[in-house]
Structure 1
């Protein structure tokens, strides 16, 4: 009956120990504020970055918090926050950070024996790595996990990583690689190499106290497995002494528990009980309820095995008496509850961030759609403007062609009238000669009829043929001269087509043919200040007297001819931006006649 009661009391105590959070909630208000830890700083920084929606800082703080959990041995939480950091780094396209966190994620997954995911992430980290050495390190780890059943093969990859990591001067990872080598050696039952590897790991882990303690405990375990208990106990006692000096109470408790375990294996239970009681008293005094429970369970187990119910009951009574004080002083419970509340706030901030991101995405989508629509409208407007401009240009070209052809009927009429006159006067030879020259001229004009500009030599040839025809008809009325400036390359310089001929025609028909004596028509092409100046000069009767002699029909025709020329020059200037100009002036007395001056830039390409 007494043994049953003892078990019932112990069960109740365990139930009280597990839901400690309830008691902790009541006691938090009574506790003074805890000093800031690395964990609390990481949490605070994460809250701030989430509140500001600073994606870069959010990623960095997720990674920092994950590393803090990793240092505390909470691999599950570390994995959760590494994944969040990885998501943010991926969004920011920070490849180096993404590579580093992917490798860290693979490590915590390996710690949790989730080898499939770990292998995949090691391979991803390798594919992301920009450095060949870093790529090789990650692929070695992936292959090491793939060959777990072959320790000898694993050793090859571990040794390769040790050398690569040394070259990269990554001391922390060198220490981890030596630990892997030690574990691999233990698989191969080579304890001496394992101990040597652990000692090498200590050299590279000297700036990480927690890692040093863990490695030394592993060395002690190797000695204990080989029944070298004194060496193992010596290591634990040295760690205990260092923890006492540093006032690291949690490490003191752990080392006392380890020493007790070794004494039990060494079959010295009294010394083991002394260590356990010391660990229990320290855990109770420092408010570490979890370790107090573990130590109490170990003591009860021993007393049960010895049938010493009296000691067990004494421990229970002591535990019950100090229970409230233990719970109230348990900083781990307060920290856990604080973090639980803070984590809830983090979750809320993450939800708010997600909503903000969704709103930003929707806004950006709308903005892109709006921008795309505007660009489409601009393109459509540009297309319409371009089409209208093309139509306008085409219309100008058609108008220019129409104006150019408008000059021909009058010339054709005059030419045919000349042929008729030769026939009526029985001048058959002159008529034939005139028709031959006329046909040659018309052929040239037809060939060039679709061109706005032709070369100077062709224009001179065409104008000479025209003047020859007119001279054949009015040979007793005028002579003509054509001169081209030596500085002008007649083959490469271009001039407007059919701009000069109408003015030559006007000089002959309205000035020179009315003279009582033989006149002179001069056509000059000059290069002046990089411009081509065309001068048409005659010594005919002049503009004033010509106007007096003209019939109304001739006046209308001449006016139309001048307007035609002006319109053509205007269209050429609009289409080709050539700044062509012309001016007609009458010579001053006592001289008679007219001067036409046409100016256009030196044109060598069309």
Structure 2
């Protein structure tokens, strides 16, 4: 700051020229939009943005950027508000609720006084209601929906708002009020249209499912499906989503009541419906759920066939998430029926599908980040246009306000620098989090692969009983690991469960090589202390596979979790052959593999320390006379509250 002021002081002597130069960028933005703007062009840009806001949000943002800049130069408040309304709808689509709320509020502020009877105002109120509903702000959602209901509305607009109010009460668990909100709605197709009638029936079906009136719910659901099928070309995606939600509600109740034949019929009906529209992803989900009822009835072969078809369909539409779900259920079914080899192969496919799901999630996050960056650019340009307007209005006074103008420039420079720094910092943090997830994604398949090799060895030794026992324990462990793999931190209680099960499996395989003990300091609160998942396991794996496994006599492995100066230390000790002797026994490939695993852990710790401002450390000590290794992991107190 001091250097900046020293640099700017000489400019006071030639301030007029300097001010003009500093203002050039904002003035250029303002002049550029002003020269191109007309009411026709603004209206057309808004129409274009509206047409592609759901199918191509990136292109819609480009249209909004142009329309917003022109609206500001024209002083067209209605068009400006419509631009913010479109931004809110785009944010709502990509599930950025906070940004959606900000933009809807900007539209609301510009429409509330002068344009509070316009269609844009009604859309804004619904957008505010929808976003608050998604954020579980139920009372606020009702305020906006009821505010919209006080306006002059068409029959269809009023019906949709009453359905929205019903959904709020439904999500609150107030099913009587949810039903009362739509009780008086007409279901005459000629008046309401097939799609809207279908949605009314669907909402009632969902409510009846929750009040255990499942037969009534099923009848209404079928009728709703027929009406939405009749209006499929005109029915928006929300109608289809509503059908899916109700189907799952009814299915859940039918299974609870063990009415499996009815659930199977419901799923087959849904499969036929979705095959008509080539919605193969939803067909895959239905087949997965269908297999559960078939299995419950004892129709195992048919259940297996449905799961195989579900996996194939998911693969055909590049949906690794559904594919993973199909393989997981199929593997569990194989395992339950004693088909160990098939279960093993299917678990391997499941692991691969989980990895592809993580990659797809990362791509989606990057695409969303680009849309958010584009919106920040729109905000910057709109700020520049507003600044350009103000500069034009005050141009004649600038000679008398030289010093004040210079100070304003300094403030703008500092403010702009601050926002650039803030955005860069946010971008860096986002990239670090993506890198952290990527490293976690590399750890899980590696871990699963090693465990599956153990099962494979039992099978190769014709020890099917041991393989089955090991596979059962391994299934529990894998579920725990995968359930927590997307978390940055898990509790010590969960980590103890995972580690205990893992060491038990390793001991089961190498029981003649080592015994083990796990000790946790009573001063440590297992439910509040948090640490990164899959942080301790690789060091235990190294101790067993590279230290204890090669020892001639039976060794010992100890894990101690202790309190240390308000934080926690994890000490992993073994009396194996030591790192030096282990290195001599390894092949080049094993050395490279071990180095890569430890490097991944180091990179994870570096990113965790940077992102969360912590100080995780790992120290590896060689015990005297190559008598083993000790690893000390220090967990900082910022993520480990101690009681």
For the criterion TM > 0.5, the same-fold answer is: no
TM-score normalized with structure 1 length: 0.44
TM-score normalized with structure 2 length: 0.42
Higher Cα Rg: structure 1 or 2?
Answer: 1
